Structure formats: structure tokens, C-alpha cells
Amino acid sequence: MIYQEGRKLIRIWKGERLQIEAFHKNSLRVRATRLSGIQDEDWALLPPEEEMQPEITIFYKENGTEEEAEEKRKVNSAVINRGDSAKMANGKISVDVTKEGKLVFRNQKGDILLAEYEADRSTSLGIRSRELKMLAGGNFRASMKFASDPQEKLYGMGQYQNGIFNLKGSFLELAQRNSQASVPFVYSSLGYGFFWNNPGIGRVSFGKNMTEWEAQNTKQIDFWITAGDSPAEILQQYMAVTGKPPMMPEYGLGFWQCKLRYQTQEELLEVAREYHRRGIPLDVIVADFFHWTLEGTWDFDPKYWPDPEAMVRELDSMGTRLMVSVWPTVAVNAPDYKYMEENGFLVQTENGVKITMLMIDPTSFVDMTNPDARRFVWNRLKKNYYDRGIRLFWLDVAEPEYSSYDFENYRYLQGPVTEVGNMYPLWYTKMVYDGMKEAGEEEVVSLVRCAWAGSQRYGALVWSGDIPSTFESLKIQIVCGLQMAMAGIPWWTTDIGGFIGGDIRDPKFQELLIRWFEYGTFCPVMRLHGNRKPYREPIGCNGGGRCASGAENEIWSYGEENCGIMKKYIGIRERMRPLTRKLMEEASSTGAPVMRPLFYHFPEDERVWEISDEFLFGENLLVAPVTEYLQRERDVYLPAGAGWQEQETGRIYEGGQTVRADAPLDVIPVFERIG
């Protein structure tokens, strides 16, 4: 039986309830369950900004032919039409629901965008395209299979350290890990965007013959699909239903200094003073982890950080903001551990002891899905940081980074991790966003190590995690940044130079750092960080003194010649400030990413769909990073349909060709679109 219910299309068949509704312009939301009713949880989706007026047509079989159950009409009536099959249209997208319940999505021209997989009926394979297999406890293991166009190209999905640009033919785990951020929105070159609105652990396979989405533990299948005439239109429609970022504060547009880790207040201040003495603009400096005494105190260790208010005042006088690291962990010997455990503020384990991470002390993670736990932690942050003048928080370990990623062993207030776990970084970021807004802050940005769909609306500046300090890793980060952009995360950055390894005395690493620094100049946020060699020993036996540190990581730590190159690019970033501000305003108003794949503005040029080592900063700057050791020139493809001027030489080229650009150590090839 298929019928309309208000503005929804409903099909009930053999225990399954399928519901399709218009959900924003040119978009549809599809849900299916074998429970008594559709679940109302929207997860990442926001209510549509306006009521949609879809067209629904119900068909029934009579005399061997399909006839309309009633005349096609706008869905603004309470009358229920019943039939065997149906069609629903909302702007540029429509869906056919066959008598067998299969879904076929089309654009406004009638071209098929995506069709539910249908096995050849002449075979005995018994493959079902839409499955809800019962689990113990009443939930389901769910899967959706779609027939796949072998020529389709796919982008987005968040951040995976695999270096794959066109995701066609790849397999992705839908789970959060250190340096992996699962944001399950994919853009298709066929002209649609697809969002798997399920925060549970799962997987997706973008096969040549089939695309298959799976959720390990869920109450229903839930996805959203949109159609449009350009990548920009489709991405903006997705951002309208998952949220756009706030405006990036002015201090987010310049250079950020960080290292693992400043061990004392005086060490951090002396670094800021040296930047000031050298006349190098420094917007933000970071106090990394274990400036505290114990995890779960969320406060400065008074032995090594004796006067935070004075530190903030001095930094402010130099035009520099302080960011502090926050971890969602509580040591078992922290003063509030017992209270938090008794009140259900900590992540539960199904088996074994409740220790979910080992750092210096055994710790448990805060359950950020629990609103009372979020309020408790924010009150600590407000008292110990915000009320001392600190407005920037670095939300580290945000996946969360379990010492063992046994997802089936952990449970949150909102449900088991297998069902809701991928939303943890969103709730974590929301904690600070809500607290800052309540305190009167308008522009909120939090540096966070992971994200899910919708994190951007809470001011999430995502960075690519604890990645290796290698040229290969640099190449991969370019792809990561572009995939995050196409997954709706406009604010993104990396540790310039990578995080793991990197000896400051090694000439090869110094060259890597320079090339990464040049690339970082054109990332949404420019931030230097890393765990450098040679390592420093702990400076004490108690509190924050127990934690070791890496070597110096300031731009003068690598010799004056390298320092001069990095100072040059900080100056370039400063001169770009009006442009960066404009792009951040655009991201806040429309959701457009700051860094963009070439096809975002040149979709008609077939060659750009495979180019992953160049990108656009906004609409008019083409950036071509250098990613090989001792490389001093590189080929750059200039998209067709525009003229391009090389910034270093002033040479002008027509688009649609590959040119050889000089790239001495102090030059990253950049081309400006003419006109």
C-alpha cells in the first residue's frame, strides 16, 4: 500500500514503513523502518527554512496499465490517495517508487541520478537492496544498495588518510579515529549530493557496479538526497540543512604558533615576545596539553603557570590571543572523578574496567552526549579559563581516541557507540559553542580534532590529526582538505610540518617544513605545530611537570635562511587578510568552502575532476603546492574557460593547458584568474 499523508509519501509493505518527504529546496529525505513508526531524531539535519510544496502522484494498476489514483496535484490536502506506485517531485529532484518499493531518483530533465539496486530476476541470488536485519534488543543492522554508474565521480565523505581524490572504487569505514573524520556526505559528478544521516558505526563501498551503505546498529534507514546544476549549488543546499559556520573571528585570519608543548608560562610568553621583537604578526599562540595538573581538572598547574590573567594581558598587549588545550578525559585520581562517575558523566563500558584511555594516568572519557556532563565541564572551563580572559579552546582527542577502538564496548547516554558514536565530536564542540554563546560571544571558533556532519555550525575548525612528518603525508593532506571542503567543513587546517617525527636539525625535514608552510599559507587557517626532535625530558615529578615535550618549533628554530622564507609567507598571509575575511564571510552566509577543488568552479573542464594536487583559494587563486623533496619546478594545469596570471613572474596563460612553473625553495606556484 502506498499513499500520501499531508506532504509525505508513505509506503507500507510486509512490515516495512517507508517515508519520503520534501526536505529543503530540490531535496528529499527518505526513512525506512520495521518498527511501529518513523523515528523523529533529525541527527545532523536542521528543519527546512521554508515549507516545501512537493508534487505527489499515486498510481494503481487497472486493466494491466498504470493509471493515476487521482489527478496530479500539489500536496496541500488531507485527502489520502492509495495505490501501488507513486512519483514525488520537489523542484529539481523527483523519485519514482515502483510497485516493488524500489526508489529511482531523477533530476528535472528526467535523467536518473541514483537508483536502488535491483538484482536480475532471472537469477537466484536473492539480493535485497534495502535491508533491516533485527539485532538483539530491537535495533537493526541496516544497508542500502544503489546501482552504480561506472563513469560517476565521487567526492567528500570527510577526512581519510588514503590520498584518494575520486572516491569511486573505494571502501570507507564510517567511524571516528585520530586523523580520520567520518562526515558521510558525498557529492556526485552526476549532479546530486547524498547524506547518510546515521551517526552509528558502519561502512560505505563505492563499487563500480554498486554503492552500498551500512549501519551496524540503528532504528531505521535515514538518508537525504539533493539535486542541482553545479557543485556549488548542491553543496550550498547541503549546508542549508546541516548548518553554516559562524563568522571566523579576525584573529583566525593570521598566523598561529604552536608546538608540543610549552612547559611553562614563561616559556610561552618568551616565544610571543620574540615574535613581537622581530615584528612578525602572531594572531594566536597555544598552550598545549598538560598545562594542567591532572586530566579532568581543566585548570592551569599553578607551579608552572602561576598567573594566567597576567599572561593573557601581556599577550593581548602584543596583539596575540591565547588558546588552551582541553581534553575530554578524567584521571581516576582527579578530584571530580568519583562525582562524575556516580552521576553518569563518564563513558560506560560493556565489559572490563572503565578505563578508556591511558596517557600519563589511567583515564575515562566524559560522555559528551550527556547534557549535564557538558554543563559540568563547561562550568569548569568558564571558571578556570573564560573568566580569566581566554576565548579560544583547542578540543583535542575529539574522536574520542580510545586506547582500543573496540566500538562495541562503549556506551553513551544517547545509546551504544555502534549506534550514535560518530556524533561525539559534534556534541563536544557544541559544549563550548553553547557555553560561549551563553556568555555573550558572537564569533566562536574551536580547534577540534574530529567532526561529523553539522559540526561546522558550532564553530568547528577541524585539523587533520596526528599525521606523519613526510612528503607523502603532505600530499595526502591536500586531498584531505578538499574532501572536507566538499563534505561541508569550511574551516580546516593541518599541523604545518606534520605532527609525528621531524628533526629540526635534519635538512630534509627543514625543506618539508618550508613546503608545508607555503601550503599552509593558503589553508583556511595557517597554524604551525608538531612534535619535534630532539625531545625534551619532563621538568618535574608532579602535575604538569611529568609530561615531556618536543624540540623548539618557532620559525627561527630552523636557521635564519629558513626563518626568512617563513616570515615572507606570514607577510603574504597578512596581505591576503581582506581576501580571507571575504571568503570567511561567504562561508558563513552560504556555506561555500574556503579552499575548493578545481571542479567547484570549472565543472565543464573534464580534466580537473582528477586533479588532486592543486586547489582554488576562493574563486580566483589557483594554488599548486610542491610536494617532492628537492623539487624546484612542477607542472600546473590551468582550467579551461579563464585566463591565468602567474603571481611570481607575471606571465599570462590561457586556460586549458599544462604549464611548467618554477618553484625554488621560497616559491609556491600561485596563479590568479584574470578578470
- Known catalytic residues? 396, 399, 466
Quick check: bond before 534 cis, omega within 30? yes
Q: Which residues contact 619 (CB under 8 A, 6 or more apart)?
A: 596, 601, 673
Q: In this structure, are residues 144 and 46 in contact, taking their beta carbons and an 8 Å threshold? A: no
Give SS3 for 269.
helix
| Helix or strand run (H / E) with residue 222 | strand 221-227
Give CA 466 to chain center in angstroms.
Answer: 15
In angstroms, rounded to a whole number, what is the distance separating the alpha carbons of residues 259 and 550? 7
In angstroms, rounded to a whole number, what is the distance separating the alpha carbons of residues 645 and 231? 25
Q: Classify the phi-psi angles of 671: left when phi > 0, otherwise alpha if psi is within -120 to 50, otherwise beta.
A: beta
Give me 563's grid cell: 626563518
Give me 35's grid cell: 518498527
Q: Which residues contact 392 (CB under 8 A, 6 or more apart)?
A: 251, 284, 321, 322, 323, 324, 445, 446, 447
Q: Which residues contact 508 (CB under 8 A, 6 or more apart)?
A: 629
Q: What is the CA radius of gyration of the chain?
A: 26
Q: Dihedrals φ, ψ of 593, to 5°?
A: -70, 160
Q: In this structure, are residues 326 and 386 in contact, taking their beta carbons and an 8 Å threshold? A: no
Task: Using alpha carbons, select from 463, 470, 482, 467 the residue that is nearest to residue 166.
Answer: 482
In angstroms, rounded to a whole number, what is the distance separating the alpha carbons of residues 188 and 586? 23
Cross-sheet strand order for the sheet of 16-22: 82-83, 2-5, 8-13, 16-22, 27-33, 221-227, 192-196, 181-188, 154-159
Residue type, 98: T
In angstroms, rounded to a whole number, what is the distance separating the alpha carbons of residues 313 and 306? 14
Alpha helices in 521-669 (DSSP H): 560-575, 577-590
Q: Classify the phi-psi angles of 125: left when phi > 0, otherwise alpha if psi is within -120 to 50, otherwise beta.
A: alpha
Using alpha carbons, list the distances in angstroms from residue 175 to 217, 307, 522.
13, 41, 29
In angstroms, rounded to a whole number, what is the distance separating the alpha carbons of residues 501 and 60? 66
The total of other beta-carbon atoms located within 10 Å of residue 199's CB is 30
Q: Dihedrals φ, ψ of 500, to 5°?
A: -95, 115
Give SS3 for 144.
strand
